[in-house]
Amino acid sequence: MDMTPPAKQSVRSTASLFVTCVVDQFYPEVGESTVRLLRRLGVELDFPEGQTCCGQPAFNSGFRSDAMPAARRFLETFKDSPQIVVPSGSCTAMIRVYYPELFQDDIETAQLAIEVGRKTFELSEFIVDQLGVTDLAAALPDRTQGQGQRVAYHPGCHLKRELGVVSQPLDLMDSLPEIELVPFEQSDVCCGFGGTFSVKYPEISGAMLGDKVAAVRDSGAGTLAACDATCLMQIGGGLERQSVPIRTAHLAQILDEATS
């Protein structure tokens, strides 16, 4: 596997990577792409070994006391990090938006959660808002321009509506001339994943997915991109089940491929 370090470039930022449990366990290649991309952009990354999961599965199902140990572990593991970068809008929202809610009866932990939340960023917002890089082609002039591809982008609900991250992923992809962003119908509508919702209400989740798969299929895109591995698990699983030959890729993978 090619793990070539970045071209000589001065360190412009240091950050800790919270890779998320889903990427760690199911999509390690998304984590690898995240690392390569960020290193090329001059980020010195570390990977705190104590990390597991942000606690969202339990929290969203109502099991707050079960979510707490995982959340506390996250806070303990990352509290001294200068910045935390996460290749997921949903997990970032859990940390930044819902940890204070989870610890509402524990002022000290809630305070810590707010502090840690302030320095926790989803990947695309980290690159654009923290590193100040919007034009990847200009930031990485030595890159090899890849083959042209048509990409449909699914904006994750938590990314968009909890974090307010809308333009960052689009701007990053748009800065690469070989990527053509293609619109599709009702692209702003949820894919139907919703964590345990997809298991508890498979018919509803499946019906929502059906619309998403049909719209992506009709878009003429070769790739469906998103900033959350879980949306991609849902949409990709649906595309595969219906034998639609469109690949799914995390934003980190798209950008990694285009900047190598």
Q: What residue ranges bind another protein (CB under 8 A)?
A: 1, 3, 5, 19, 21, 23-28, 31-32, 35, 47, 49-53, 55, 57-66, 69-70, 73, 98, 101, 157-158, 161-162, 186, 189-190, 192-211, 233-234, 236-238, 240-241
Least CB distance to another protein at residue 175 (A): 26
22 three-class SS: helix
Give 21 or 173: the residue with its C-beta nearer to another protein: 21
Q: Taking the CA atoms of 37, 220, 175 and 134 in sequence, report the sign of the dihedral they define.
A: negative
Nearer to another protein by C-beta: 63 or 142?
Answer: 63
Nearer to another protein by C-beta: 1 or 138?
1
Q: Quick one: tokens of 23?
A: 């990427």
Q: How far is CA 85 from the centre of its chain?
A: 9
Q: Which is nearer to another protein, 36 or 175 (CB)?
A: 36
Burial class of residue 11 (count of CB atoms within 10 Å of its CB; 0-12, 13-18, 19+): exposed
Distances (CA, A) of 102 to 64, 71, 106, 123: 7, 9, 9, 24
CB of 120: closest distance to another protein in angstroms?
18
- Answer whether 170's CB lies under 8 Å from 181's CB: yes
Give the nearest distance from C-beta 16 to another protein in angstroms. Answer: 12
> Scanning the structure block, which residue is given the tokens 């984590």?
31
| Residues contacting residue 86 through CB under 8 Å, at least 6 positions apart | 17, 18, 19, 20, 92, 95, 120, 121, 122, 123
Nearer to another protein, 233 or 255 (CB): 233
The answer for residues whose C-beta is within 8 angstroms of residue 62's C-beta and 6 or more apart is: none
Which residue, 9 or 130, has its beta carbon nearer to another protein? 9
Q: How far is the CB of 181 from another protein (least distance, A)?
A: 21
Instruction: Supply the minimum distance, in Å, between the C-beta of residue 255 and another protein.
Output: 17
Closest approach of another protein to the CB of residue 117, in Å? 16
